[in-house]
Structure 1
Amino acid sequence: MVVGGAACLSLTAVFISLADVGAGTAAFLRCAIALAVLLPLALYERRRHRAFPRRLRGPALLAGVFLGVDYVMWTVSILDVGAAVATVLLNIQVIAFPLLARILGGDRIPRRFAYASPLMLAGLALAAGLLDHSDQARHPLRGALLGLAAGVAYAAYLYLIRLCGVASPQHSVTPVFLSTLAAAATSGVLALFTTGLTLAVPLASWGWLIALALLGQVAAWILIGRGTPRVTPNAAAALLLLQPIMAVACAMLLLGESPTALQLAGCAVVVAAVWFAGRTPARRRSRRAP
Protein backbone atom coordinates (compact mmCIF):
# COMPACT_ATOMS: atom_id res chain seq x y z
CA MET A 1 0.00 0.00 0.00
CA VAL A 2 2.80 2.43 0.86
CA VAL A 3 4.60 1.65 -2.41
CA GLY A 4 1.37 2.16 -4.35
CA GLY A 5 0.82 5.49 -2.61
CA ALA A 6 4.38 6.52 -3.44
CA ALA A 7 3.79 5.65 -7.09
CA CYS A 8 0.71 7.91 -7.16
CA LEU A 9 2.61 10.74 -5.47
CA SER A 10 5.48 10.46 -7.95
CA LEU A 11 3.19 11.76 -10.70
CA THR A 12 2.05 14.87 -8.83
CA ALA A 13 5.02 17.06 -9.78
CA VAL A 14 4.48 16.21 -13.44
CA PHE A 15 0.75 16.98 -13.23
CA ILE A 16 1.45 20.34 -11.53
CA SER A 17 3.95 21.31 -14.21
CA LEU A 18 1.58 20.30 -17.02
CA ALA A 19 -1.37 22.12 -15.40
CA ASP A 20 0.67 25.35 -15.66
CA VAL A 21 -1.21 27.25 -12.94
CA GLY A 22 -0.05 29.23 -9.92
CA ALA A 23 1.39 27.40 -6.93
CA GLY A 24 -1.40 28.42 -4.56
CA THR A 25 -4.09 27.67 -7.13
CA ALA A 26 -2.73 24.16 -7.73
CA ALA A 27 -2.46 23.43 -4.00
CA PHE A 28 -6.00 24.65 -3.24
CA LEU A 29 -7.74 23.01 -6.21
CA ARG A 30 -5.92 19.74 -5.62
CA CYS A 31 -7.64 19.49 -2.23
CA ALA A 32 -10.97 21.08 -3.19
CA ILE A 33 -11.54 18.70 -6.10
CA ALA A 34 -10.54 15.71 -3.96
CA LEU A 35 -13.19 16.60 -1.35
CA ALA A 36 -15.95 15.86 -3.87
CA VAL A 37 -14.72 12.25 -3.99
CA LEU A 38 -13.68 11.84 -0.36
CA LEU A 39 -16.98 13.07 1.16
CA PRO A 40 -19.22 10.23 -0.12
CA LEU A 41 -16.49 7.71 0.69
CA ALA A 42 -16.25 9.06 4.25
CA LEU A 43 -20.03 8.89 4.70
CA TYR A 44 -20.02 5.29 3.49
CA GLU A 45 -17.20 4.48 5.92
CA ARG A 46 -19.17 6.08 8.77
CA ARG A 47 -22.14 3.82 7.99
CA ARG A 48 -19.94 0.72 8.01
CA HIS A 49 -17.68 1.46 11.00
CA ARG A 50 -19.52 4.17 12.97
CA ALA A 51 -18.23 7.70 13.50
CA PHE A 52 -14.54 8.55 13.53
CA PRO A 53 -13.42 8.97 17.21
CA ARG A 54 -13.62 12.57 18.41
CA ARG A 55 -10.22 12.43 20.08
CA LEU A 56 -8.62 11.75 16.67
CA ARG A 57 -10.35 14.53 14.77
CA GLY A 58 -7.99 17.17 16.11
CA PRO A 59 -4.82 15.32 15.00
CA ALA A 60 -6.38 14.67 11.57
CA LEU A 61 -7.22 18.36 11.11
CA LEU A 62 -3.79 19.43 12.35
CA ALA A 63 -2.23 17.01 9.88
CA GLY A 64 -4.16 18.81 7.13
CA VAL A 65 -2.77 22.18 8.24
CA PHE A 66 0.77 20.82 7.85
CA LEU A 67 -0.20 19.30 4.50
CA GLY A 68 -1.56 22.63 3.24
CA VAL A 69 1.65 24.40 4.23
CA ASP A 70 3.63 21.62 2.57
CA TYR A 71 1.65 21.91 -0.67
CA VAL A 72 2.16 25.65 -1.11
CA MET A 73 5.88 25.59 -0.32
CA TRP A 74 6.50 22.48 -2.40
CA THR A 75 4.61 23.77 -5.43
CA VAL A 76 6.67 26.96 -5.40
CA SER A 77 9.77 24.77 -5.09
CA ILE A 78 8.71 22.82 -8.20
CA LEU A 79 8.49 26.04 -10.19
CA ASP A 80 11.86 27.19 -8.80
CA VAL A 81 14.05 24.11 -9.22
CA GLY A 82 12.09 21.66 -11.40
CA ALA A 83 9.78 18.74 -10.69
CA ALA A 84 12.40 16.04 -10.13
CA VAL A 85 14.67 18.01 -7.79
CA ALA A 86 11.73 19.42 -5.79
CA THR A 87 10.40 15.92 -5.20
CA VAL A 88 13.79 14.74 -3.95
CA LEU A 89 14.06 17.74 -1.61
CA LEU A 90 10.62 16.96 -0.22
CA ASN A 91 11.93 13.60 0.94
CA ILE A 92 13.88 15.07 3.81
CA GLN A 93 10.96 13.27 5.50
CA VAL A 94 13.17 10.19 5.34
CA ILE A 95 15.00 11.67 8.33
CA ALA A 96 12.34 13.97 9.81
CA PHE A 97 9.54 11.37 10.03
CA PRO A 98 11.46 8.81 12.16
CA LEU A 99 12.86 11.62 14.33
CA LEU A 100 9.34 12.92 15.05
CA ALA A 101 8.21 9.38 15.87
CA ARG A 102 11.15 9.05 18.27
CA ILE A 103 10.66 12.42 19.99
CA LEU A 104 6.87 12.38 20.23
CA GLY A 105 6.03 8.67 20.22
CA GLY A 106 9.12 7.03 21.69
CA ASP A 107 9.73 4.78 18.64
CA ARG A 108 13.25 3.39 18.61
CA ILE A 109 15.65 4.54 15.89
CA PRO A 110 18.02 1.73 14.80
CA ARG A 111 21.74 2.44 14.91
CA ARG A 112 21.97 1.76 11.20
CA PHE A 113 19.58 4.63 10.59
CA ALA A 114 21.76 7.00 12.65
CA TYR A 115 24.88 5.88 10.77
CA ALA A 116 23.19 6.34 7.39
CA SER A 117 21.71 9.78 8.16
CA PRO A 118 24.80 11.77 7.03
CA LEU A 119 24.80 9.84 3.75
CA MET A 120 21.11 10.60 3.28
CA LEU A 121 21.75 14.31 3.81
CA ALA A 122 24.72 14.27 1.45
CA GLY A 123 22.66 12.48 -1.18
CA LEU A 124 19.82 14.99 -0.81
CA ALA A 125 22.31 17.85 -1.22
CA LEU A 126 23.67 16.32 -4.42
CA ALA A 127 20.19 15.59 -5.74
CA ALA A 128 19.15 19.18 -5.03
CA GLY A 129 21.91 20.41 -7.33
CA LEU A 130 23.73 22.38 -4.64
CA LEU A 131 27.13 21.54 -6.18
CA ASP A 132 26.21 22.33 -9.76
CA HIS A 133 23.86 24.79 -11.44
CA SER A 134 21.15 23.66 -13.82
CA ASP A 135 19.62 26.03 -16.36
CA GLN A 136 16.21 24.67 -15.37
CA ALA A 137 16.44 26.18 -11.87
CA ARG A 138 14.85 29.64 -11.80
CA HIS A 139 15.55 30.36 -8.11
CA PRO A 140 17.78 27.54 -6.80
CA LEU A 141 18.35 28.85 -3.26
CA ARG A 142 14.70 29.74 -2.57
CA GLY A 143 13.53 26.50 -4.15
CA ALA A 144 15.94 24.43 -2.04
CA LEU A 145 14.91 26.10 1.24
CA LEU A 146 11.18 25.83 0.49
CA GLY A 147 11.59 22.20 -0.59
CA LEU A 148 13.33 21.28 2.67
CA ALA A 149 10.74 23.15 4.77
CA ALA A 150 7.98 21.38 2.87
CA GLY A 151 9.65 18.07 3.69
CA VAL A 152 9.50 18.78 7.43
CA ALA A 153 5.80 19.71 7.16
CA TYR A 154 5.28 16.52 5.14
CA ALA A 155 6.88 14.48 7.92
CA ALA A 156 4.56 16.07 10.49
CA TYR A 157 1.57 15.10 8.33
CA LEU A 158 2.81 11.51 8.00
CA TYR A 159 3.31 11.21 11.75
CA LEU A 160 -0.15 12.53 12.63
CA ILE A 161 -1.99 10.54 9.96
CA ARG A 162 -0.15 7.38 11.08
CA LEU A 163 -1.23 8.15 14.64
CA CYS A 164 -4.87 8.18 13.48
CA GLY A 165 -4.39 4.93 11.58
CA VAL A 166 -2.86 3.13 14.56
CA ALA A 167 -5.61 4.30 16.94
CA SER A 168 -8.52 3.58 14.56
CA PRO A 169 -7.40 1.18 11.79
CA GLN A 170 -10.94 0.65 10.45
CA HIS A 171 -11.13 4.32 9.40
CA SER A 172 -8.88 4.92 6.39
CA VAL A 173 -10.92 7.50 4.45
CA THR A 174 -12.24 9.82 7.18
CA PRO A 175 -8.78 10.96 8.40
CA VAL A 176 -7.83 11.73 4.79
CA PHE A 177 -11.10 13.63 4.30
CA LEU A 178 -10.57 15.74 7.43
CA SER A 179 -6.91 16.43 6.64
CA THR A 180 -7.78 17.32 3.02
CA LEU A 181 -10.48 19.72 4.26
CA ALA A 182 -7.97 21.45 6.55
CA ALA A 183 -5.33 21.43 3.80
CA ALA A 184 -7.75 23.11 1.37
CA ALA A 185 -8.47 25.89 3.88
CA THR A 186 -4.80 26.33 4.81
CA SER A 187 -3.47 26.36 1.25
CA GLY A 188 -6.27 28.69 0.14
CA VAL A 189 -5.49 31.25 2.85
CA LEU A 190 -1.73 31.03 2.24
CA ALA A 191 -2.26 31.41 -1.49
CA LEU A 192 -4.27 34.60 -1.04
CA PHE A 193 -1.39 36.25 0.81
CA THR A 194 1.54 34.77 -1.14
CA THR A 195 1.28 33.32 -4.64
CA GLY A 196 -2.31 34.36 -5.41
CA LEU A 197 -5.42 32.26 -5.97
CA THR A 198 -7.53 32.21 -9.12
CA LEU A 199 -10.25 29.89 -10.37
CA ALA A 200 -10.04 31.16 -13.96
CA VAL A 201 -8.13 28.10 -15.08
CA PRO A 202 -7.91 26.94 -18.75
CA LEU A 203 -9.91 23.85 -19.66
CA ALA A 204 -6.80 21.76 -20.35
CA SER A 205 -5.41 22.68 -16.93
CA TRP A 206 -8.60 21.43 -15.26
CA GLY A 207 -7.94 17.97 -16.70
CA TRP A 208 -4.46 17.81 -15.16
CA LEU A 209 -5.75 19.18 -11.84
CA ILE A 210 -8.48 16.53 -11.70
CA ALA A 211 -5.86 13.84 -12.37
CA LEU A 212 -3.72 15.40 -9.62
CA ALA A 213 -6.64 15.32 -7.15
CA LEU A 214 -7.67 11.74 -7.92
CA LEU A 215 -4.21 10.16 -7.95
CA GLY A 216 -2.05 12.52 -5.90
CA GLN A 217 -4.61 13.24 -3.19
CA VAL A 218 -7.38 10.63 -2.95
CA ALA A 219 -5.61 7.42 -4.00
CA ALA A 220 -2.16 8.29 -2.64
CA TRP A 221 -3.18 9.32 0.87
CA ILE A 222 -5.73 6.56 1.36
CA LEU A 223 -3.11 3.97 0.42
CA ILE A 224 -0.43 5.58 2.59
CA GLY A 225 -2.89 6.09 5.46
CA ARG A 226 -3.76 2.38 5.41
CA GLY A 227 -0.18 1.19 4.94
CA THR A 228 1.94 3.26 7.31
CA PRO A 229 0.32 2.00 10.57
CA ARG A 230 1.30 -1.55 9.57
CA VAL A 231 5.04 -0.80 9.36
CA THR A 232 7.54 1.10 11.49
CA PRO A 233 8.20 4.81 10.78
CA ASN A 234 11.67 3.90 9.49
CA ALA A 235 10.25 1.37 7.05
CA ALA A 236 7.48 3.73 5.91
CA ALA A 237 9.98 6.54 5.30
CA ALA A 238 12.23 4.18 3.34
CA LEU A 239 9.38 2.90 1.15
CA LEU A 240 8.21 6.46 0.46
CA LEU A 241 11.69 7.21 -0.83
CA LEU A 242 10.68 5.33 -3.98
CA GLN A 243 8.63 8.41 -4.81
CA PRO A 244 11.51 10.71 -5.87
CA ILE A 245 13.14 7.96 -7.93
CA MET A 246 9.89 7.41 -9.84
CA ALA A 247 9.43 11.18 -10.10
CA VAL A 248 12.86 11.66 -11.67
CA ALA A 249 12.04 9.05 -14.31
CA CYS A 250 8.60 10.59 -14.97
CA ALA A 251 10.05 14.10 -15.25
CA MET A 252 12.69 12.91 -17.71
CA LEU A 253 10.18 11.02 -19.86
CA LEU A 254 7.17 13.37 -19.74
CA LEU A 255 8.65 16.83 -19.14
CA GLY A 256 11.99 16.47 -20.90
CA GLU A 257 13.94 17.44 -17.77
CA SER A 258 17.57 16.37 -17.68
CA PRO A 259 19.04 16.06 -14.18
CA THR A 260 22.82 16.33 -14.03
CA ALA A 261 25.10 13.40 -13.30
CA LEU A 262 25.64 14.65 -9.74
CA GLN A 263 21.90 14.87 -9.14
CA LEU A 264 21.38 11.31 -10.34
CA ALA A 265 24.32 10.20 -8.19
CA GLY A 266 22.66 11.89 -5.22
CA CYS A 267 19.49 9.89 -5.83
CA ALA A 268 21.56 6.70 -5.87
CA VAL A 269 23.32 7.65 -2.62
CA VAL A 270 20.00 8.30 -0.87
CA VAL A 271 18.54 4.97 -1.96
CA ALA A 272 21.69 3.08 -0.93
CA ALA A 273 21.75 4.80 2.47
CA VAL A 274 18.10 4.02 3.16
CA TRP A 275 18.61 0.41 2.10
CA PHE A 276 21.52 0.15 4.54
CA ALA A 277 19.47 1.79 7.32
CA GLY A 278 16.56 -0.62 6.91
CA ARG A 279 18.55 -3.80 6.37
CA THR A 280 18.33 -6.43 9.09
CA PRO A 281 21.77 -7.77 10.14
CA ALA A 282 22.47 -11.41 9.28
CA ARG A 283 22.84 -12.47 12.92
CA ARG A 284 19.46 -10.99 13.81
CA ARG A 285 17.84 -12.77 10.88
CA SER A 286 19.33 -16.09 12.02
CA ARG A 287 17.94 -15.58 15.54
CA ARG A 288 14.48 -14.91 14.20
CA ALA A 289 14.53 -17.97 11.91
CA PRO A 290 13.39 -20.54 14.52
Structure 2
Amino acid sequence: MQRLPGLSMAVGALFVSASAVLIDLARVSPGTASFYRCLLALPVLAPLALRERGGRGHAAGGRVMTVLAGLLFAGDMLLWTAAIEEVGAGLSTVLVNVQVVIVPLLAWAVDREPVTRRFLLALPPLLLGVVLAGAVLESGVGGSDPVLGTIHAVLAALCYSGYLFLLRRNSGEGRTLRAYLLVTVSAGACSLVVGAWWQGVELAPGWAAIGWLALVALFGQVLGWLLVALSSPRLPSHVGAILLLFTPVGAVALGALVLGERPTPLQLSGCVLILTSSCMATMGHRPARES
Protein backbone atom coordinates (compact mmCIF):
# COMPACT_ATOMS: atom_id res chain seq x y z
CA MET A 1 0.00 0.00 0.00
CA GLN A 2 2.86 2.35 0.77
CA ARG A 3 4.31 1.89 -2.74
CA LEU A 4 1.05 1.64 -4.71
CA PRO A 5 -1.34 4.19 -3.20
CA GLY A 6 -3.10 4.74 -6.54
CA LEU A 7 -3.92 1.04 -6.91
CA SER A 8 -5.04 0.88 -3.27
CA MET A 9 -7.29 3.91 -3.76
CA ALA A 10 -8.87 2.40 -6.89
CA VAL A 11 -9.47 -0.95 -5.18
CA GLY A 12 -10.97 0.83 -2.17
CA ALA A 13 -13.33 2.81 -4.42
CA LEU A 14 -14.45 -0.42 -6.12
CA PHE A 15 -15.13 -2.03 -2.73
CA VAL A 16 -17.25 1.00 -1.77
CA SER A 17 -19.17 0.68 -5.06
CA ALA A 18 -20.68 -2.62 -3.86
CA SER A 19 -22.41 -0.90 -0.93
CA ALA A 20 -25.41 0.42 -2.88
CA VAL A 21 -26.32 -2.99 -4.32
CA LEU A 22 -25.86 -4.76 -0.96
CA ILE A 23 -28.01 -2.16 0.84
CA ASP A 24 -30.71 -2.55 -1.79
CA LEU A 25 -30.69 -6.33 -1.23
CA ALA A 26 -31.00 -5.81 2.56
CA ARG A 27 -34.38 -4.07 2.11
CA VAL A 28 -34.23 -2.03 5.31
CA SER A 29 -34.81 1.62 6.21
CA PRO A 30 -32.03 4.21 5.77
CA GLY A 31 -31.55 4.45 9.54
CA THR A 32 -31.30 0.67 9.96
CA ALA A 33 -28.77 0.34 7.13
CA SER A 34 -26.64 3.27 8.29
CA PHE A 35 -26.63 2.20 11.95
CA TYR A 36 -25.84 -1.45 11.30
CA ARG A 37 -23.08 -0.80 8.75
CA CYS A 38 -21.27 1.23 11.42
CA LEU A 39 -22.04 -1.16 14.29
CA LEU A 40 -20.93 -4.27 12.40
CA ALA A 41 -17.69 -2.58 11.33
CA LEU A 42 -16.59 -1.83 14.91
CA PRO A 43 -15.36 -5.37 15.83
CA VAL A 44 -12.83 -5.09 12.98
CA LEU A 45 -12.00 -1.37 13.20
CA ALA A 46 -11.51 -1.18 16.98
CA PRO A 47 -8.61 -3.70 17.25
CA LEU A 48 -6.91 -2.14 14.20
CA ALA A 49 -7.21 1.36 15.68
CA LEU A 50 -5.93 0.27 19.10
CA ARG A 51 -2.87 -1.32 17.47
CA GLU A 52 -2.04 1.82 15.48
CA ARG A 53 1.26 3.41 16.42
CA GLY A 54 2.89 6.72 15.62
CA GLY A 55 1.49 10.19 15.22
CA ARG A 56 0.19 12.51 17.88
CA GLY A 57 -3.03 12.16 19.81
CA HIS A 58 -5.86 14.36 18.64
CA ALA A 59 -6.27 17.68 20.42
CA ALA A 60 -9.75 18.60 21.64
CA GLY A 61 -10.38 20.72 18.54
CA GLY A 62 -9.27 17.88 16.29
CA ARG A 63 -11.62 15.44 18.02
CA VAL A 64 -14.52 17.86 17.60
CA MET A 65 -13.78 18.15 13.88
CA THR A 66 -13.57 14.35 13.60
CA VAL A 67 -16.94 13.92 15.35
CA LEU A 68 -18.44 16.56 13.05
CA ALA A 69 -17.06 14.62 10.08
CA GLY A 70 -18.83 11.54 11.47
CA LEU A 71 -22.13 13.42 11.73
CA LEU A 72 -21.82 14.53 8.12
CA PHE A 73 -20.97 10.96 7.13
CA ALA A 74 -24.20 9.84 8.85
CA GLY A 75 -26.15 12.44 6.88
CA ASP A 76 -24.56 11.16 3.68
CA MET A 77 -25.43 7.54 4.50
CA LEU A 78 -29.04 8.26 5.50
CA LEU A 79 -29.86 10.44 2.49
CA TRP A 80 -27.99 8.25 0.02
CA THR A 81 -29.66 5.06 1.30
CA ALA A 82 -33.06 6.69 0.78
CA ALA A 83 -32.00 7.64 -2.76
CA ILE A 84 -31.04 4.04 -3.63
CA GLU A 85 -34.69 2.94 -3.74
CA GLU A 86 -35.93 6.20 -5.21
CA VAL A 87 -33.53 6.56 -8.15
CA GLY A 88 -31.62 3.26 -8.24
CA ALA A 89 -28.39 1.93 -6.73
CA GLY A 90 -26.18 2.91 -9.64
CA LEU A 91 -27.55 6.37 -10.38
CA SER A 92 -27.71 7.37 -6.71
CA THR A 93 -23.99 6.64 -6.40
CA VAL A 94 -23.22 8.64 -9.54
CA LEU A 95 -25.15 11.63 -8.20
CA VAL A 96 -23.45 11.50 -4.80
CA ASN A 97 -20.06 11.70 -6.47
CA VAL A 98 -20.53 15.28 -7.58
CA GLN A 99 -18.39 15.68 -4.43
CA VAL A 100 -15.37 15.87 -6.73
CA VAL A 101 -16.50 19.38 -7.61
CA ILE A 102 -18.08 20.40 -4.28
CA VAL A 103 -14.95 19.66 -2.23
CA PRO A 104 -12.77 22.11 -4.23
CA LEU A 105 -15.52 24.72 -3.81
CA LEU A 106 -15.40 24.19 -0.04
CA ALA A 107 -11.61 24.50 -0.11
CA TRP A 108 -11.97 27.76 -2.05
CA ALA A 109 -14.64 29.18 0.30
CA VAL A 110 -12.97 28.16 3.57
CA ASP A 111 -9.25 27.96 2.83
CA ARG A 112 -9.12 30.30 -0.16
CA GLU A 113 -7.55 27.67 -2.37
CA PRO A 114 -7.68 28.94 -5.98
CA VAL A 115 -9.91 27.27 -8.57
CA THR A 116 -8.93 26.92 -12.20
CA ARG A 117 -10.71 28.05 -15.35
CA ARG A 118 -11.05 24.37 -16.28
CA PHE A 119 -12.97 23.80 -13.04
CA LEU A 120 -15.40 26.67 -13.72
CA LEU A 121 -16.00 25.45 -17.29
CA ALA A 122 -16.88 21.98 -15.95
CA LEU A 123 -19.72 23.23 -13.71
CA PRO A 124 -22.49 23.75 -16.36
CA PRO A 125 -22.17 20.26 -17.94
CA LEU A 126 -21.93 18.72 -14.47
CA LEU A 127 -25.22 20.33 -13.39
CA LEU A 128 -26.85 19.26 -16.66
CA GLY A 129 -25.63 15.72 -15.97
CA VAL A 130 -27.31 15.76 -12.54
CA VAL A 131 -30.60 16.83 -14.14
CA LEU A 132 -30.39 14.09 -16.81
CA ALA A 133 -29.27 11.32 -14.43
CA GLY A 134 -32.08 12.20 -12.03
CA ALA A 135 -34.68 11.82 -14.82
CA VAL A 136 -36.09 15.27 -14.03
CA LEU A 137 -37.06 15.64 -17.72
CA GLU A 138 -38.53 12.12 -18.10
CA SER A 139 -41.48 10.07 -16.89
CA GLY A 140 -41.95 6.34 -16.42
CA VAL A 141 -38.33 5.63 -15.50
CA GLY A 142 -37.05 3.19 -12.90
CA GLY A 143 -37.01 3.93 -9.18
CA SER A 144 -39.91 4.78 -6.89
CA ASP A 145 -39.39 8.57 -7.14
CA PRO A 146 -36.45 9.67 -9.34
CA VAL A 147 -36.90 13.40 -8.68
CA LEU A 148 -37.00 13.00 -4.88
CA GLY A 149 -34.14 10.53 -5.17
CA THR A 150 -32.09 13.11 -7.03
CA ILE A 151 -32.77 15.68 -4.29
CA HIS A 152 -31.77 13.20 -1.58
CA ALA A 153 -28.63 12.18 -3.52
CA VAL A 154 -27.53 15.79 -4.05
CA LEU A 155 -28.08 16.56 -0.35
CA ALA A 156 -26.07 13.42 0.43
CA ALA A 157 -23.33 14.74 -1.86
CA LEU A 158 -23.19 17.95 0.20
CA CYS A 159 -22.81 15.93 3.42
CA TYR A 160 -20.28 13.62 1.75
CA SER A 161 -18.26 16.60 0.55
CA GLY A 162 -18.20 18.14 4.02
CA TYR A 163 -17.10 14.79 5.45
CA LEU A 164 -14.23 14.43 2.95
CA PHE A 165 -13.20 18.05 3.41
CA LEU A 166 -13.04 17.81 7.22
CA LEU A 167 -11.33 14.43 7.13
CA ARG A 168 -8.63 15.76 4.78
CA ARG A 169 -8.29 19.01 6.74
CA ASN A 170 -7.86 17.08 9.99
CA SER A 171 -5.56 14.37 8.61
CA GLY A 172 -2.30 15.80 9.90
CA GLU A 173 -2.52 14.23 13.35
CA GLY A 174 -1.02 10.93 12.16
CA ARG A 175 -3.65 8.59 13.65
CA THR A 176 -5.76 7.70 10.60
CA LEU A 177 -7.27 4.50 11.99
CA ARG A 178 -8.20 6.03 15.35
CA ALA A 179 -9.74 9.03 13.64
CA TYR A 180 -11.74 6.76 11.35
CA LEU A 181 -12.92 4.71 14.35
CA LEU A 182 -14.22 7.90 15.99
CA VAL A 183 -15.91 8.88 12.71
CA THR A 184 -17.62 5.48 12.56
CA VAL A 185 -18.80 5.60 16.19
CA SER A 186 -20.23 9.12 15.88
CA ALA A 187 -21.82 8.29 12.49
CA GLY A 188 -23.45 5.17 13.95
CA ALA A 189 -24.82 7.04 16.97
CA CYS A 190 -26.19 9.83 14.76
CA SER A 191 -27.74 7.31 12.37
CA LEU A 192 -29.54 5.62 15.26
CA VAL A 193 -30.98 8.88 16.63
CA VAL A 194 -31.88 10.58 13.35
CA GLY A 195 -32.93 7.32 11.70
CA ALA A 196 -35.35 6.56 14.53
CA TRP A 197 -37.03 9.91 13.80
CA TRP A 198 -36.83 9.59 9.99
CA GLN A 199 -38.38 6.35 8.65
CA GLY A 200 -37.45 4.38 11.78
CA VAL A 201 -34.69 1.97 12.85
CA GLU A 202 -35.28 -1.77 13.15
CA LEU A 203 -33.03 -3.15 15.87
CA ALA A 204 -33.90 -6.71 14.81
CA PRO A 205 -34.22 -6.55 11.00
CA GLY A 206 -33.77 -10.32 10.54
CA TRP A 207 -30.75 -12.49 9.84
CA ALA A 208 -30.92 -12.10 6.08
CA ALA A 209 -30.81 -8.29 6.32
CA ILE A 210 -28.02 -8.45 8.92
CA GLY A 211 -26.05 -10.71 6.58
CA TRP A 212 -26.28 -8.22 3.71
CA LEU A 213 -25.44 -5.32 6.03
CA ALA A 214 -22.44 -7.26 7.40
CA LEU A 215 -21.16 -7.41 3.81
CA VAL A 216 -21.73 -3.64 3.51
CA ALA A 217 -19.70 -3.15 6.69
CA LEU A 218 -16.91 -5.41 5.42
CA PHE A 219 -16.62 -4.17 1.82
CA GLY A 220 -17.69 -0.55 2.24
CA GLN A 221 -17.03 0.53 5.80
CA VAL A 222 -13.86 -1.49 6.51
CA LEU A 223 -12.03 -2.54 3.35
CA GLY A 224 -13.20 0.24 1.06
CA TRP A 225 -13.02 3.32 3.26
CA LEU A 226 -9.90 2.19 5.09
CA LEU A 227 -8.05 1.81 1.79
CA VAL A 228 -9.29 5.24 0.71
CA ALA A 229 -8.39 6.85 4.06
CA LEU A 230 -4.90 5.32 4.14
CA SER A 231 -4.09 5.99 0.47
CA SER A 232 -5.45 9.52 -0.05
CA PRO A 233 -2.73 11.31 2.00
CA ARG A 234 -0.10 9.77 -0.32
CA LEU A 235 -1.78 11.02 -3.51
CA PRO A 236 -2.30 14.48 -5.02
CA SER A 237 -5.85 15.63 -4.23
CA HIS A 238 -6.92 15.74 -7.89
CA VAL A 239 -5.67 12.19 -8.49
CA GLY A 240 -7.56 10.89 -5.46
CA ALA A 241 -10.75 12.63 -6.61
CA ILE A 242 -10.52 11.03 -10.05
CA LEU A 243 -9.85 7.55 -8.61
CA LEU A 244 -12.95 7.85 -6.40
CA LEU A 245 -14.98 7.93 -9.62
CA PHE A 246 -14.43 4.16 -9.79
CA THR A 247 -17.19 4.03 -7.15
CA PRO A 248 -20.09 5.26 -9.33
CA VAL A 249 -18.82 3.35 -12.37
CA GLY A 250 -18.73 0.13 -10.36
CA ALA A 251 -22.14 0.84 -8.81
CA VAL A 252 -23.82 1.36 -12.19
CA ALA A 253 -22.28 -1.89 -13.50
CA LEU A 254 -23.25 -3.89 -10.40
CA GLY A 255 -26.75 -2.37 -10.39
CA ALA A 256 -27.26 -3.62 -13.95
CA LEU A 257 -25.75 -7.08 -13.32
CA VAL A 258 -27.23 -7.87 -9.89
CA LEU A 259 -30.42 -5.80 -9.65
CA GLY A 260 -31.32 -5.64 -13.32
CA GLU A 261 -31.39 -1.84 -13.31
CA ARG A 262 -31.71 -0.37 -16.78
CA PRO A 263 -31.08 3.38 -16.88
CA THR A 264 -32.64 5.25 -19.80
CA PRO A 265 -30.40 6.67 -22.55
CA LEU A 266 -30.82 10.17 -21.09
CA GLN A 267 -29.86 8.92 -17.62
CA LEU A 268 -26.78 7.18 -19.02
CA SER A 269 -25.82 10.35 -20.89
CA GLY A 270 -26.19 12.21 -17.58
CA CYS A 271 -23.82 9.72 -15.94
CA VAL A 272 -21.29 10.27 -18.72
CA LEU A 273 -21.59 14.06 -18.33
CA ILE A 274 -21.07 13.85 -14.56
CA LEU A 275 -18.02 11.60 -14.85
CA THR A 276 -16.36 13.46 -17.71
CA SER A 277 -17.09 16.88 -16.19
CA SER A 278 -15.70 15.73 -12.85
CA CYS A 279 -12.53 14.47 -14.53
CA MET A 280 -12.19 17.74 -16.45
CA ALA A 281 -12.64 19.75 -13.26
CA THR A 282 -10.31 17.77 -11.00
CA MET A 283 -7.51 17.35 -13.53
CA GLY A 284 -7.10 21.10 -13.47
CA HIS A 285 -6.33 21.17 -9.73
CA ARG A 286 -2.86 21.09 -8.33
CA PRO A 287 -2.28 19.24 -5.08
CA ALA A 288 -2.10 21.48 -2.04
CA ARG A 289 1.38 22.13 -0.72
CA GLU A 290 2.29 20.38 2.45
CA SER A 291 3.10 22.64 5.36
Could you say whether these structures have the same fold, taking a TM-score greater than 0.5 normalized by the shorter chain as the test?
A: yes
Indicate if the aligned counterparts of 1:89 and 1:147 stay in contact, CA closer than 8 A: yes
Larger mean Cα displacement after TM superposition, 130-139 or 262-271? 130-139
- Per the TM alignment, residue 232 of structure 1 is displaced from its structure 2 partner at its CA by 4.3
Q: Which runs of 5+ in 2 are unaligned?
A: 1-7, 286-291
* AA partner of residue 9 (structure 1): V
Indicate if the aligned counterparts of 2:129 and 2:269 stay in contact, CA closer than 8 A: yes
Aligned ranges 1:86-97 → 2 under 5 Å: 86-97=92-103
In 1, distance between residues paired with 2:46 and 2:255? 32
In 2, distance between residues paired with 1:174 and 1:250? 31
Match of 2:119 in 1: 113
In 1, distance between residues paired with 2:223 and 2:170? 18
Once superposed, what is the RMSD of the aligned Cα atoms? 2.0
Indicate if the aligned counterparts of 1:134 and 1:260 stay in contact, CA closer than 8 A: no
Match of 1:60 in 2: 66
Identify if the C-alpha distance between structure 1 residues 235 and 278 changes in structure 2 by more than 3 Å, giving closer, same or farther. same
Identify if the C-alpha distance between structure 1 residues 267 and 141 changes in structure 2 by more than 3 Å, giving closer, same or farther. closer
- Per the TM alignment, residue 28 of structure 1 is displaced from its structure 2 partner at its CA by 0.5
The 4+ residue runs of structure 1 with deviation greater than 6 A are none
Match of 1:286 in 2: none
The percent identity for this pair of structures is 38
Identify if the C-alpha distance between structure 1 residues 102 and 232 changes in structure 2 by more than 3 Å, giving closer, same or farther. farther
- The alignment covers a number of residue pairs equal to 278
In 2, distance between residues paired with 1:153 and 1:266? 22
- Per the TM alignment, residue 177 of structure 1 is displaced from its structure 2 partner at its CA by 0.4
- Per the TM alignment, residue 279 of structure 1 is displaced from its structure 2 partner at its CA by 4.1
Choose which of 216, 219, 228 in structure 1 pairs with 2:220.
216
In 2, distance between residues paired with 1:159 and 1:107? 13
Match of 1:101 in 2: 107
Q: Which runs of 5+ in 1 are unaligned?
A: 282-290
- Per the TM alignment, residue 273 of structure 1 is displaced from its structure 2 partner at its CA by 1.9
- Per the TM alignment, residue 142 of structure 1 is displaced from its structure 2 partner at its CA by 1.9
Matched, 1:17 2:24: yes
Identify if the C-alpha distance between structure 1 residues 113 and 38 changes in structure 2 by more than 3 Å, giving closer, same or farther. same
Larger mean Cα displacement after TM superposition, 120-129 or 206-215? 120-129
In 1, distance between residues paired with 2:213 and 2:280? 37
Matched, 1:137 2:143: yes
* AA partner of residue 116 (structure 1): A
Match of 1:250 in 2: 254
TM-score, normalised via structure 1 length: 0.90
